[in-house]
Amino acid sequence: MMRVRARLAALALAAAIPLVVSACASPGGSSASQACPTSAPTDAQARQILADAGQARVTTNKGTFTMELYGDRAPIATANFVALARCGFYRDISFHRIIAGFVAQAGDPQTKTDRKDFASLGTGGPGYAFTIETPAPDLHYDPYVVAMANAGGTDTNGSQFFIDLADLNSELQRSYTIFGKVVDGTDVVDAIGKVPTNGQRGVPLDPVIIQSIEITAQPAASPG
């Protein structure tokens, strides 16, 4: 029980209330000329964003993996991720917390300039927050599932997300929005999950950096 609490505490710390950061366009992603959002999408905006968004191809300095997106199950979280990916928000962001057998987490823009451990690590975001979309009963925290990070189950979704490195159904409350799953390149995710870190805080000693995220229109089927 103590181990579970320690790991959940690390996850909550890594998704504290987002800092306000510049929401301007930056290079990379699948549409770098597009300005980054300054708020979460509305339902209507989400439908428009997701019309041609089925998969996300994530290229890192450790390899490439592909996520199937669950836009039909978590439209706001998925559309928000897609919009941030398309404007290049995630380019040069690193996986700032990797806990073997638990999660690999990314999305803090502060890691673009500081790859090491520091006091506010894990508190960065897009400058806004939005509410949790509770996972449907048939969605589970299985290996390679991708979910939004938040501060202890509160409505602080922003830009941070994590990839499950194991079956976490017995460890996580259903307060982390599931918006996708890695369907190709799981060996890359496995390798990322094994990089050496500084210990309990899980900051990689050899940074794992997102180089680009390409959104494609591959249809996203719900899990069977």
180 beta partners: 69, 146
Residue 13 clears pLDDT 50, i.e. is over it: no
- Residue 223 inside a domain? The answer is no
Does 222 fall in a domain?
Answer: no
Q: What is the pLDDT of residues 157-207, one digit of tens each?
A: 999 999 999 999 999 999 999 999 999 999 999 999 999 999 989 999 999
Domain span at residue 88 reads 2-216
Is 64 part of a structural domain of the chain?
yes
On whether residue 208 sits in a domain, the answer given is yes
Q: Domain count for the chain, please give it.
A: 1
pLDDT at 33: 64
- 21 within domain boundaries: yes
Query: CA of 146: how far to CAs of 101, 141, 142, in Å?
Result: 15, 8, 9
Indicate whether 124 belongs to any domain. yes
CATH assignment at residue 136: 2.40.100.10
Question: 82 lies in a domain?
Answer: yes
For residue 34, the model assigns a pLDDT of 86
| 127 in any annotated domain | yes
Number of Cβ atoms within 10 Å of the Cβ of 17: 12
pLDDT of res. 27: 35
For 114-132, the pLDDT digits (tens) are 999 999 999 999 999 999 9
pLDDT of residue 192: 98
State pTM to two decimals: 0.88
